[in-house]
Structures are given as structure tokens and as C-alpha cells.
Structure 1
């Protein structure tokens, strides 16, 4: 990989770390896992074209 790409990836990690240390209690989409209340939520597309969410902390899936 090019050095500039690696630097950008490192910068993204720095942003994530600074948001966590700042006490950010909201995910970018404003979602929380209904099972564990984590803000580590990813949006995924289902097989039928619907949108679902998955908690990357506990694995709970909902739509």
C-alpha cells in the first residue's frame, strides 16, 4: 500500500479514538443497540433489499 493510504487509515483510527475519549454517546447515525445499548452499530443490506442493523459489540441484529 502507498504510504499516503496508510496515513489516512491511521488518521481514521485517531478520529475514532478521540471520539471515544471525548465521551461520545451517539453513533454517527444516532443508533444504539437495543440489547446492550452500545453505539457500535453498523448498517447492513438484507437479501431482500431491506436495511438491517448489527451491533458490532454484541452481535445483535435488528431492522
Structure 2
């Protein structure tokens, strides 16, 4: 059984390489998703927990 990794910021499953965030050298990051982390930086570093919950809920409702 394979262990599934999840984004340490939003909880998204990191089941594919495409879902993973990137470092500034182009390598994939195994801790954060592409929606939270890109080029070695968080996309919205000022986001608090309440804002993250709203963003994740809105994204899930679209799916």
C-alpha cells in the first residue's frame, strides 16, 4: 500500500507530479501543492486559516 502525501498548507492530495508545487530550480516539492507553492515561495503567505478554509471549500464546491 502506497502512502499518499498531502499538501501541508491546504490538505490537497499530492497524487501526481502535476499537483506538486515547485522549487525555483524547477524541481517538484513533496510538501506543498501547485496552488499553494511555486518557485520556492508561497502564493499567498498572508492567508490565515479562516481564509484557507473558505478557499478550499469554494474550490471543492466547484468540483
Q: TM-score under structure 1 normalisation?
A: 0.28
Q: Which has the higher contact order (CA 8 A, sep 6+)?
A: 2
Question: Which is higher, the Rg of structure 1 or of structure 2?
Answer: 1
* TM-score normalised by L of structure 2: 0.28
